[in-house]
Structure formats: structure tokens, C-alpha cells
Amino acid sequence: MNDEGRWQLVLARDFRADGKFVTAVKSTGIYCRPSCPARHPLRKNVTFYATPAEAGRAGFRPCRRCRPDEGNQQAEIIQRVCRYIETHLDAPLTLEALSRQANLSPHHLQRSFKKFVGVSPRQYTEAQRVKQVKSKLKGNGTVTAALYEAGYQSSSRLYERNQLGMTPGDYRRGGNGMRIGYTIVSSPLGRMIVAATERGVCFVGFGDDDQFLQGELSKDYPSAEIRRDKNFGQWVDAILNNLSGKQPHLDLPLDVRGTGFQQQVWNALKRIPYGQTKSYGEIAESLGKPNAARAVGRACATNHVSVVVPCHRAVGSSGSLTGYRWGVGRKEKLLAKERSGE
């Protein structure tokens, strides 16, 4: 693993990296575990050492918060539970069964697992099953075999959770066969593209140039069959009414791809009231993952359906507008219009 890979584990506060290396911060003279909950330092101030002893010899002292110089038996137990889940996906992985593997009470395991991993054992199991299905499908495995090997007793659970964002068959074919229609119209934010499948809206974007918007749609759906279509005018009208302040609440059918975590973030964004904002940290807190502010930001950046999923209502901790795929000026205009109630 190179230093960039280590830094990504630090940003994710991945406890599974604990014990593999430590992070030393030149500006403070302190070294930490990769999962340390303290605020992340600047990348330019960070160097990595294989062991606490090496960091100590280089003149760094251990963090008093994550105590990297001490063993962490609880983290090791949770690591073993993760490995057990990953290798027994075809088995009934109930909380009671996992607690027996960890030699902990179900309540203690649930609390400790969420503390270290950031999600519950059930959520982690679900994510690993979806990961295995995707891997099997990309390797040209059959849909049925992929589902059952990952522990699904039927395809219905995977479909209803929309974890793949398309049918498993479409995913196996790299998205080939998806039919997407789109239209481009004028809006209060410039030219607006709205694209949809037969199941719902899959893309909304803004720009000054129609060719640019067509390119952005193709970039997000490179393997789909895309054509101009005006058969979903009622959805376009609803978005335009929202932008003009006539329809504050949008409830349109969606057909978007995303991981379980991305879906959680997008649903949280839809719950932010019209005219209000929340910081990335507040959204992470609402999901029970207080250390996932950066991941929330990445989920906002990968939102395919701007406005319908109002990622413009996510702001920095100081209230700063930060980034926006379609330009910070448009984000500012959106928020100003919503706050004025016009």
C-alpha cells in the first residue's frame, strides 16, 4: 500500500487499518491510529510509520485520544466479526449468531460494531452482499448464482432496496440496454436537462450550453441508449415550478444508481425543509455517523438528480456554500430563491 492509499484509509477513519500503520503529524508532533476521531490534519503535514515504535524514534508522541501505543482488544474483536461476515455471506448472519462469534452480548456487539465500523452489523452484512453480487455480475456470472451465493433467497430484496440502481441483469451488462430519454429547456438557472427511464427521473443538470449538458448525461450513463424525448413533460414542468417557487415540494419517481450510503444521504437531503440548509456534519450526525462528513460531501457530489434531490441545501460547517456540480453561483441563487419564498 502506498501513502495515498493510507491517506484514504485515514480520511475514512477505517478502524481495520489500525495496527497496520500510524499517522504522524509534523505540525503537532503527535502520531495517531488511522481511525482516530480527532479532526483530520492537512495532508502536507502527515507522514506514515509502520509501527508506534518507529514514530516514537522519529520524535513523535502518542495521541492521548486514540492511544495508538496501546493494544485495542475491542477493535480486534470487531475486525474478526467483519472477517466472519465477509466469509459467511451465505449463512444466516443474525445479531445473535454474530454475538456468539464475538463472545459478546448482542447489545454490546451492536454498540461496539457501530462505534468502530460506523454502521450496524446488519447494514455491514447487506453492503458486503451487494458488493459480492456486483463482483460476480461484473465477472459475467449468472444473476441467479450471484444472488444466492451472496445470501439472497430471492431477487426481490435486492430489487426493492435499489442497491444496484438498475436490475442485476442490466448491471452485469455494464448498463447496456438501459433506455434514457432526455429534453433540454430554459430555466431560471439557465439551460436545464432532464433525463428519465421508464421508471423515473435519472438525471437533472444545468448549464449554458446544450452540448455540454448532453456530454454530462453521457458521462454519467456511458453504456445506455440515450435519445431526445419529450414524453415526460409533467416531470419537467414540476421541476420548473419548483425553481420558480410555485411547487416547493417535489415528489417525483426516481431511477438513480447509488450505494447504500449514498441512498441514505440522498434521502436525508430530501428531508431538509424547503428554504433551509444543513451542514455536511449535521447530515452525517442524522445518519448516526458523526465522522462521515466528508463521505456525505462525496455523496452530494455524485447526486445525479439535482433539485429533485436537493444537494444544494448541504453547506459547509460555517455556512459556506462549498462546491456544486453546476456552479456555486447557481447554488447561491437556488438558496436565495428558496429563502425568499418566491
Beta strands in 229-309 (DSSP E): 278-279
DSSP for residue 4:
H
Classify each residue of 282-295 as buried b or exposed e, where b means 16 or more C-beta atoms within 10 Å of its C-beta.
bbbbbbebebbbeb
Could you give phi then psi for residue 340, rounded to 5 degrees? -80, -15
Q: Are 78 and 112 in contact (CB under 8 A)?
A: yes
Q: What gap in Å lies between CA 48 and CA 6, rounded to an integer?
A: 8
Q: Are 265 and 287 in contact (CB under 8 A)?
A: yes
Q: What gap in Å lies between CA 279 and CA 317, rounded to an integer?
A: 5
Which are the catalytic amino acids?
Answer: 32, 311
Distance set, CA 65 to CA 83, 118, 124, 238, 294 (Å): 26, 18, 26, 50, 21
